[in-house]
Amino acid sequence: MGVEHVPSSGAQQVRRRAVYREPARRINVAGGVLVLPVVVYYGVPVILNVPELGYVDVPEDEYARLYDKLSSSDAEQLQEAMSALRKLKELEEAEVEAAQRGPERIAPADVEDLSEPIFFGSPSRVETRRRGLY
């Protein structure tokens, strides 16, 4: 009682819930401050607001790996992590661009027109023309 059954209409897109992650650290990077949330697994990507890059969606497993490098005092590890974030942002932008462009349609140059002529006259006139040739 009180339960409503909604029939499934094929494949439905599952919308992910927004997740709040507590800030763990703040680090100074070129162009501003990067807030690093605590490493926790919720099944959704971590969204970082990276100075000079903007928002970057980082898969949780990748974020856990990058967290140690981003919070490291070693400048080389920090640069490595920032480079990885730039690559993720580039991939994300390429995916968005491809989705906006839609499927590419390429027409081959050697396509032959195989369509048949359409006659709008009465069928009897068409038949008369054909009989006259033989």
- pLDDT digits over 9-65, tens only? 444 455 556 788 899 999 988 889 999 999 998 888 999 999 999 999 999 999 999
Model pTM score: 0.61
d(CA 103, CA 31): 37
**4 band by pLDDT with thresholds 50, 70 and 90:** very low
**128 band by pLDDT with thresholds 50, 70 and 90:** low
20, 11 Cβ separation under 8 angstroms: no
pLDDT attached to residue 65: 93
